Amino acid sequence: MTSVLVVIASAGHTAPREDGAGPRHTAAVHHTSIRCRQCHPRQREEWLASAHARAATSGAYHRALEHVPDARRPSCAPCHVPLAGNPERIATEGVVCDACHTADAAARPGGVTPRPELATKFGPYADSKDHHFHRVAFSAFVAGSDLCIACHSDPEAGPVVVLTSAVEWRAGPHASRSCPSCHMPGSKARAAKGGPERTVYHHGFGADRAKSLERAIHVKTRVARTERAAELSVSLTNAGAGHAIPTDLPERRLRLEIEGRSASGEPVVRFERAFGRHLVDAANQPAPFFLAVRELADERLAAGATRHERFELPAGTARVRIRLSYQRWDPAFDRYYGPSEPVLVHDSEVRVR
Ligand code: HEC
Ligand code: HEC
Ligand code: HEC
Ligand code: HEC
Ligand code: HEC
């Protein structure tokens, strides 16, 4: 591990050569992810598919900004455009490599405090070696939960808690596991071209949502006969997440849809239940987080908890289809965020005898 207290004032500020053989420690300024790709192609490719890569440019973010009161708008950038103030290309890459790898502490809540002048990439290894492009150093801040919490929790107390994952994680059954231990699964590969084989961590944050939600939520269904009708019970257990599902953005929803059909396939009955948080504005109307003053209800699946839902099936119901899907936001908020496609998490059918 290198001492990061040594700041070489003359380091960098010289354009690196395309073959990477530039002057010593050329990384003393921020670089776009394209520069990192030269030696870290795997991380670049995984990151490109992640929500972090879209944080500064997504349609949802820009549409939302149009509805945010002027005075509040500048507060959005520290997390969505953490490298604002750098050349435009880097800023528009959102939560980009250097936003996470050039800081080893959060000096202020609600965002990171990058220190490119150190020309050091902070990461998970204690045994990697400095090279001409950048120095390396182990950082408990980066490899633990604190880096994530810097952006995934509210910078200051507002009228409602908006980002809840860190609060829920601390109080939940998985507090002994770090955010990256679940969100960045490890595998054996090279961390950099020409480097040794070691454990590297996946940078796809949220890229395989359907699969990870299917693993995390256990769905059990059962049909019981009552005197005149039948009752379907569905239990949903949040077995795999370190926080509620959904978490953070309060407009996210899990939607359970039940569809009963007769023996000949005619629709007989339909139910729908959505699990999420319900925030309202001063006039008690449903509101997105940036206009909300109060939480009316929280109906999410808490970490480790099970919800039991019951549905009465009328006579004549022969089979029931049970579908669970994830929605990036309740369609009622499309006018603030634009349209979003639901992601199917569970789909099964049971017979009613
Ligand atoms: C949201 C923060 C974040 C972003 C953005 C990010 N990383 Fe990482 N990166 C991490 C964390 C955290 C680890 C260590 C994970 C652990 O210890 O479980 C890591 C590990 C690494 C490592 C060590 C090897 C490996 O893959 O685990 C390299 C190299 C790396 N990142 C490069 C990059 C590059 C290049 C980019 C951009 C294309 C990037 N990172 C974007 C947080 C980030
Ligand atoms: C403290 C850091 C932070 C601040 C400040 C912040 N956000 Fe976010 N934002 C996040 C995080 C983290 C997520 C991801 C939450 C999740 O996945 O549930 C997010 C998600 C979003 C999304 C959903 C994106 C999508 O496509 O799913 C929108 C839209 C958004 N933020 C808009 C804003 C606006 C507008 C502001 C300013 C009023 C703002 N954010 C301020 C951290 C922040
Ligand atoms: C010229 C090649 C090269 C370029 C360009 C490069 N790196 Fe690296 N990086 C390496 C090598 C080599 C290692 C050490 C790998 C090992 O020990 O397995 C490394 C290691 C890392 C680590 C792990 C540090 C640790 O000790 O845990 C991080 C994080 C990292 N690089 C981030 C970046 C980022 C971000 C960029 C783009 C701004 C970048 N690198 C550009 C070659 C490069
Ligand atoms: C610099 C701020 C920042 C840091 C640091 C950061 N995030 Fe994020 N994260 C965001 C923002 C902003 C979004 C929402 C991006 C969007 O969709 O517009 C997000 C999105 C996500 C998502 C995807 C949510 C979705 O709905 O697809 C996951 C998962 C996530 N972050 C986990 C992590 C983890 C784990 C860490 C720590 C290794 C971390 N983040 C570090 C700002 C950050
Ligand atoms: C025990 C494993 C585990 C831990 C620990 C964990 N998460 Fe998660 N997280 C999950 C699973 C599983 C999901 C749901 C699948 C998905 O969205 O990838 C999830 C989803 C998310 C999402 C997407 C939110 C949404 O509803 O769209 C964000 C953001 C997130 N986690 C952030 C964090 C942060 C920040 C921490 C640490 C404070 C953390 N997670 C700790 C397993 C975990």
Atom of ligand 5 minimally distant from the CA of 177:
5
Q: How far is the centre of ligand 1, averaged over its atoms, from the C-alpha of 202 (Å)?
A: 8
Q: How far apart (Å, rounded) are the C-alpha atoms in residues 275 and 288?
A: 16
**Residue 266 backbone phi and psi in degrees, to 5:** -75, 140
Amino acid type, 308: H
Atom of ligand 2 minimally distant from the CA of 65:
35
* pLDDT value for 148: 97
Is the CB of residue 274 less than 8 Å from the CB of residue 245?
no
* pLDDT value for 25: 62
pLDDT tens digits, one per residue of 94-152: 999 999 999 998 877 789 999 999 999 999 999 999 988 999 999 999 999 999 999 99
Residue nearest to atom 33 of ligand 4 (CA): 148
Q: How far is the centre of ligand 4, averaged over its atoms, from the C-alpha of 168 (Å)?
A: 16
Spatial CB neighbours of 228, under 8 Å, sequence gap ≥ 6: 315
Cα–Cα nearest to 72, from 153, 166, 148, 156: 156
- In degrees, rounded to 5, the angle at the alpha carbon of residue 285 between the alpha carbons of residues 255 and 164 is 55
Q: How many CA atoms lie within 13 A of 300 on its CB side?
A: 26
Residues in contact with ligand 1 (CB, 6 Å cut-off): 33, 36, 40, 43-44, 47, 52, 95-97, 99-101, 123-124, 142-143, 147, 180, 184, 191-192, 200-201, 203
Is the CB of residue 231 less than 8 Å from the CB of residue 311?
yes
Q: How far apart (Å, rounded) are the C-alpha atoms in residues 48 and 203?
A: 9
- Both tokens of 66, joined, read 């149009």
Handedness of CA 277, 283, 288, 291 (dihedral sign): negative
Q: How far is the centre of ligand 4, averaged over its atoms, from the C-alpha of 111 (Å)?
A: 11
* pLDDT value for 26: 66
Ordered mean pLDDT values, 10 residues apiece, the chain (353 residues): 34 35 62 97 97 97 97 95 93 97 87 93 96 94 96 93 97 97 97 96 92 97 86 97 98 98 97 98 97 97 97 94 98 97 96 89
Q: How far apart (Å, rounded) are the C-alpha atoms in residues 231 and 255?
A: 20
Spatial CB neighbours of 5, under 8 Å, sequence gap ≥ 6: none
* pLDDT value for 219: 98
Residue nearest to atom 32 of ligand 1 (CA): 43
User: Ligand 5: does its nearest atom lie under 6 Å from the Cβ of 153?
Assistant: no
* pLDDT value for 18: 36
pLDDT tens digits, one per residue of 271-311: 999 999 999 999 999 999 999 999 999 999 999 999 999 99
